[in-house]
């Protein structure tokens, strides 16, 4: 269980943040079988347990806000929001977490700790899939972003495969048209794509996804071949922190990486997008217009982000008797 100190800190922190938070109503309907009240009787303390642990992790390292957001996206985009990204590989199967696109995935150990606390309080009740949805929402909120209600009642998949992840998730080198097509396959339009890209306002990234932006940009195996649209000073900063061939270093992916705000869009406008998928957002008239709107302080960004996260949380959910409630998120029962 979360410690009394963590619970007390949660109450104090949440109370103070609520005075200034953007509380976004759910304007997107939940998928059939999902209810905000799903655990009201079976595990009424579920949400507060998740939030207390997320607070603990963010207090230690604010970049976990981005890690929890990434986990929801990387789970839901592959066969739906079913907790499959959390499963370990077996002797006969390479799981999603081993996929190329999931290099450097963080927060897995922390999710296991949260799940253990939920199992202690309410054995066999709260799914790993719902845990990820709650953690992403709470991490966003505790980083200064919007709070939104979430529908719950997802069940966990018994299937996880690295090829499914590499075949569904967008790689950080995608240009606008391919990125747009990737989102369209999940029924997300270009505006929603740009909105969800705003999650890059929090967290950090390993250099693995950054290297193609600053070296060998056009594919000629050239160490000096850098995206010409990058701000020269920013490109130099990236190269200092991500030397040629170094996949494992990590850097903040936003100038205010511990705070959920619109600085990401200002950075992209100014040639300071960390990934190719960031810089590509202003290579079309449509994308550039949306980025400019949010960079200038469009007041709808928080609401649109909340709506897109709810919509994402509806993807491919297992409910009722489908799937299972895993006792440990790393293993099928």
Annotated binding site: 75, 78, 80, 82, 84, 96, 170, 200-201, 254, 261
Residue ranges of alpha helices (H) inside 108-231 are: 108-121, 128-142, 162-168, 176-184, 190-197, 211-214
Is 74 noted as a catalytic residue in this protein?
yes
CA distance 329 to 333: 9
Residue in 74, 100, 206, 213 annotated catalytic: 74
**Under 8 Å between Cβ of 78 and 84:** yes
**Under 8 Å between Cβ of 259 and 199:** no
**Under 8 Å between Cβ of 107 and 68:** yes
CB burial of residue 185 (10 Å; 0-12, 13-18, 19+): exposed
Beta bridge partners of residue 27, listed in sequence order: none
**Under 8 Å between Cβ of 328 and 87:** no
How far does CA 270 lie from the centroid of its chain?
24
| Nearest residue to 308 (alpha-carbon basis) of 197, 165, 169, 204 | 197
Binding residues for substrate: 170
Query: Greatest CA span in the chain, whole angstroms?
Result: 60
Element (H, E) at 251: strand 250-252
CA distance 254 to 252: 6
**Under 8 Å between Cβ of 46 and 164:** no
Q: Which tokens in the block code for residue 100?
A: 């190329």
**Under 8 Å between Cβ of 27 and 307:** yes
Report the alpha-carbon angle 61-63-66, nearest 5. 145
Q: Which residues contact residue 27 at a Cβ distance below 8 angstroms, ignoring those fewer than 6 apart?
A: 303, 307
- Tell me the catalytic residues: 74
């Amino acid at each position: 269980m979360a410690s009394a100190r963590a619970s007390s800190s949660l109450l104090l922190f949440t109370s103070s943040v609520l005075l200034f938070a953007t509380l976004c109503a759910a304007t997107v309907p939940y998928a059939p079988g999902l209810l905000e009240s799903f655990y009201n009787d079976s595990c009424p303390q579920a949400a507060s347990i998740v939030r207390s642990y997320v607070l603990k992790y963010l207090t230690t390292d604010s970049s976990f806000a981005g890690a929890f957001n990434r986990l929801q996206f990387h789970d839901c985009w592959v066969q739906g929001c079913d907790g499959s990204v959390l499963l370990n590989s077996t002797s006969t199967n390479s799981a999603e977490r081993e996929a190329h696109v999931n290099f450097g995935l963080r927060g897995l150990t922390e999710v296991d700790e949260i799940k253990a606390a939920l199992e202690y309080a309410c054995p066999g009740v709260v799914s790993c899939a719902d845990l990820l949805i709650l953690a992403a929402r709470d991490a966003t909120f505790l980083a200064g972003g919007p709070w939104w209600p979430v529908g719950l009642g997802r069940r966990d998949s018994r299937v996880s495969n690295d090829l499914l992840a590499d075949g569904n998730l967008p790689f950080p080198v995608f240009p606008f048209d391919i990125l747009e097509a990737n989102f369209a396959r999940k029924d997300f339009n270009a505006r929603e794509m740009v909105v969800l890209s705003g999650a890059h306002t929090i967290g950090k990234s390993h250099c693995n996804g950054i290297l193609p932006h600053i070296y060998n940009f056009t594919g000629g195996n050239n160490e000096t071949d850098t995206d010409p649209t990058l701000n020269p000073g920013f490109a130099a900063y990236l190269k200092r922190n991500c030397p040629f061939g170094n996949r494992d270093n990590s850097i903040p992916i936003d100038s205010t990486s511990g705070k959920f705000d619109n600085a990401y869009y200002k950075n992209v406008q100014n040639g300071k997008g960390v990934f190719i998928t960031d810089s590509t957002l202003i290579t079309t008239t449509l994308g550039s217009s949306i980025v400019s709107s949010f960079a200038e302080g469009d007041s709808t960004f928080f609401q649109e982000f909340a709506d897109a996260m709810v919509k994402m949380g509806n993807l491919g959910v297992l409910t009722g008797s489908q799937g299972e409630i895993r006792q440990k998120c790393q293993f099928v029962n």
